[in-house]
Chains A and B, each alone.
Chain A
Amino acid sequence: MPLSATPGGRLPVAAVPRDIGRAMIGERHTAWWFVAPASAAMVLILGFPAIAAVLGSVNLGWGSAKPFGVASYVRLWSDAEFLRTLLNTAIFVISVVSLHFVLGMGVALLLNLEIRLRWLFRVLAILPWTMPDVIGGIIFRFMFDTLYGGINAVALALGWIDQPIDWLGRPGLALFSVIMAEAWRGYPYVMLILLAGLQAIPREQYEASEMDGAGPWQTFIHVTLPNLKMMLIIALVLDSVWECRLFGMIFGMTGGGPGQSTQNLTLLVYKHYFQFFDTAYASSIAVVLAAILMVAAMPYLRIAIRRAE
Chain B
Amino acid sequence: MNRSFSKVEALAKLALVALLAGGLALPAIAQTTITYADWQLAQEGWGKSLRAAIAEFEKDNPDIKVKAEPVPLAQRDVRFSTAIRAGEGPDVFALDSNPVRQYIAEGWVRDLTPFVTAAGGRSFLADFYPNSLLPVTVDGKTYGIPMNTVAMGLVYNKKLFDEAGITAPPKTWEEFREVSKKLTRSSTGTGTVDRWAFTIVLAPAGFDLRVSSIFRSFGGDFLTPDWKRSALDSPEIKAAFNYIIDLILVDKVIPPGVSQVDANGARRMLANQQIAMKIGTTWSFPEVSAMNPQLDGWNVLKIAPLPVRAGSISPVHTTLYQKSLFINKNSKNPDAAWKLVKFLTDAPRMERWWDDNAMLSSRRSVNEGYAKIKQSVPASVVASEIQYGAFLPLIPQWPQILDAIRQNLQAAVAGTKTRDQALADAHNEVNAILERK
- Which residues of chain A have a CB within 8 Å of any CB of chain B? 63, 141, 145-147, 163-164, 166, 168-171, 254-255, 257-261, 271, 274-278
Would B410 and A257 count as touching, CB distance under 8 A?
yes
Would B256 and A164 count as touching, CB distance under 8 A?
yes
Contacts of A259 in B (CB 8 A): 407-408, 410-411, 414, 416-417
Of B203, B396, B403, B414, the most chain A CB neighbours within 10 A belong to B414
Q: Which of A171, A255, A274, A277 contacts B416 (CB 8 A)?
A: A171
| Nearest CB in chain A: distance from B98 CB, A | 10
Would A171 and B257 count as touching, CB distance under 8 A?
no
Q: Is B260 an interface residue (CB 8 A)?
A: yes
Contacts of B407 in A (CB 8 A): 257, 259-260
Would A169 and B260 count as touching, CB distance under 8 A?
yes
Nearest CB in chain A to that of B414: its residue: A258
Would A274 and B257 count as touching, CB distance under 8 A?
no
Contacts of A260 in B (CB 8 A): 407, 411
Contacts of A170 in B (CB 8 A): 414-415
Q: Is B81 an interface residue (CB 8 A)?
A: yes
| Nearest CB in chain B: distance from A254 CB, A | 8
Other than the known A259-B417, A260-B407, what 5 A-B pairs have Cβ atoms closer than 8 Å? A147-B274, A164-B257, A166-B259, A259-B411, A278-B400
13 A–B pairs (Cβ distance < 8 Å), ordered by A: A166-B256, A169-B257, A257-B203, A257-B259, A258-B259, A258-B413, A258-B416, A259-B414, A260-B407, A261-B416, A275-B400, A277-B106, A278-B400
* B86-127, CB < 8 A from A: 102, 106
Q: Is B399 an interface residue (CB 8 A)?
A: yes
Question: A141 with B414: in contact, given A147-B274, A259-B407 (CB under 8 Å)?
Answer: no
Question: A147 with B414: in contact, given A274-B77, A275-B77, A276-B399 (CB under 8 Å)?
Answer: no
Q: In the complex, A95→B81 CA distance in Å? A: 35
Q: In the complex, A227→B151 CA distance in Å? A: 68
Q: In the complex, A159→B410 CA distance in Å? A: 29
Contacts of B260 in A (CB 8 A): 141, 145-146, 168-169, 254, 257
Question: A169 with B256: in contact, given A259-B416, A271-B403, A274-B81 (CB under 8 Å)?
Answer: yes
Q: Is B25 an interface residue (CB 8 A)?
A: no
Nearest first, the 7 closest Cβ-Cβ pairs linking A and B are: A146-B257, A259-B411, A169-B259, A258-B410, A258-B259, A274-B78, A276-B400
Of A146, A169, A171, the most chain B CB neighbours within 10 A belong to A169
Contacts of A276 in B (CB 8 A): 397, 399-400, 403
Q: Is B295 an interface residue (CB 8 A)?
A: no
Q: In the complex, A106→B128 CA distance in Å? A: 67
Q: Is B59 an interface residue (CB 8 A)?
A: no
Q: Is B307 an interface residue (CB 8 A)?
A: no
Q: Can you list, as one digit per residue, whether each of B241-281 has a CB less than 8 Å from chain A (1) or not (0)?
A: 00000000000000111111000000000000010000000
Q: In the complex, A274→B106 CA distance in Å? A: 13
Q: In the complex, A164→B258 CA distance in Å? A: 13
Would A275 and B255 count as touching, CB distance under 8 A?
no
Q: In the complex, A168→B77 CA distance in Å? A: 26
Contacts of B413 in A (CB 8 A): 169, 258
| Nearest CB in chain B: distance from A28 CB, A | 39
Nearest CB in chain A to that of B412: its residue: A259
| Nearest CB in chain B: distance from A25 CB, A | 43
Q: In the complex, A163→B258 CA distance in Å? A: 15
| Nearest CB in chain A: distance from B392 CB, A | 15
Q: Which of A145, A257, A275, A278 contacts B257 (CB 8 A)?
A: A145
